[in-house]
Copies of this chain bind each other. A is one copy, B any other.
Amino acid sequence: MTSARRVVGVLGGLGPAATLDFFAKVLAATPAVRDQEHLHLILDVDPGVPDRNDAVAGRGPSPAPELAAMARRLEGAGADFLVMVCNAAHAFQDAIEEAVTVPFVSIVDETVQATLASRPEVRCVGVLAAEGALDAGLYQRAFAAHDVVVVVPEGEDRDVFMELMYAIKAGDTGDTVRAGMLRLARLLAEAGAQVLVAGCTEVPLVLSQEVLDAEGLGLPLVNSTDVLVASTVAIGLGERPAHRAG
């Protein structure tokens, strides 16, 4: 059992609070009563990586060199596979995979597969994601491969999402931010979404299934952080390979 375990390398700091949330959830999801039963994780929390959304929009430098360097550092330190706690940064996944030989487990692919595995009948998914992830078409393309339509915040509501996301990054997870995120969720439900995907690791810091239910939204929430946590623990424990068939 122990010999099949794999060291987890975490590309983090994008932002730091989302990495903390991920780390806490990995510990909680690992069946362990002694220190020694927990997974070996190496977390590189490098908040100096240039803004992913600005880069995709052409407003700022590419984070690809920093992400590739972080991946190499983690591989050099002994990581057996890599995960990255930021959806938008997956627009630069190619640069990471070219930099290392260990597998990279995509939060986008895992979230799409988890969504469809639990609800194969779904034909329209609402995705709350940052500008960079939307512009790069990360979720749209992945769901389209399964003939699932994606609805996302449009026009001014994309700017609203970014304001909420940066507020959360600044530590504001209060009622106003939560209410703003709920309004966007409601718009996606009205646009036909049968499932809501939190496709940004800051979203779950204010939105949960309990919050959606309390608001009477009646929409199941798939939390990309939770999906990545479950995949990380399963792969780290050696219960499944880093890459699934299909």
Contacts and interface: CB of A to CB of B under 8 A. Distances in A.
Contacts of A27: 16-17, 20
A15 B38 contact: yes
B47 A169 contact: no
A243 interface: no
Given A45-B41, A77-B73, A170 B20 contact: no
A114 to B, nearest CB: 24
Interface string A59-75: 00000000000000110
> How many monomers of this chain does the complex have?
2
Given A16-B27, A17-B27, A20-B23, A48 B36 contact: yes
A45 B13 CA distance: 16
A44 B42 contact: yes
Nearest to A21: B24
Contacts of A37: 47
Interface in A10-39: 13-17, 20, 23-24, 27, 32-39
A43 interface: yes
A150 B46 CA distance: 40
Interface string A78-102: 1000000000000000000000000
A35 B20 contact: no
Interface of A: 13-17, 20, 23-24, 27, 32-49, 51, 73-74, 76-78, 166, 169-171
Pairs A-B, 8 closest by C-beta atoms: A38-B47, A15-B35, A33-B170, A43-B43, A41-B45, A35-B47, A73-B77, A16-B38
